[in-house]
Amino acid sequence: MFLFKKQNSLKSKKEIELLFKSGSFCSIKFLRSIYLNGGSSLKIGVSVPKKLVPLAVTRNLLKRRIKEQIKALPKEVLSGKKGSLFVLFQGKKEVSSKDISICVKELFLKTLH
């Protein structure tokens, strides 16, 4: 089980800029991931753009749902991985937890293969 602790969260502006410049992009439905190998452990960041989802309540709800589905992934998917991973929400409306779960599983299997 993956936990979103301080050492596992991607917050450094420098790391995020490097990730966007030289990372690999992968999209499935309304989620997009950017992955870059390297580093000491897997760091994950989640973002829901204000342009696409203007209400803060909805943005926060979507972020929480995405994080919960990442936590629910099997250990085998995330164990032993090193690098940075950023998950972006690309939809324009609220999505159910079930749909997010399906997309997160597909996205992580495709990205972290």
Q: Structure pTM?
A: 0.87
Domain that holds residue 92: 6-112
Mean pLDDT, to the nearest integer, of 11-19?
89
Query: Total structural domains in the chain?
Result: 1
Strand, coil or helix: what is 72? coil
Residue 99 in any domain: the answer is yes
39 vs 41: CA distance, rounded Å: 6
Report whether 66 contacts 90 (CB < 8 A). no
Report whether 15 contacts 42 (CB < 8 A). no
Residue 25 sits in a domain whose CATH number is 3.30.230.10
- Strand blocks (E) in the chain: 24-28, 31-37, 42-47, 83-89
Mean pLDDT, to the nearest integer, of 75-87?
83
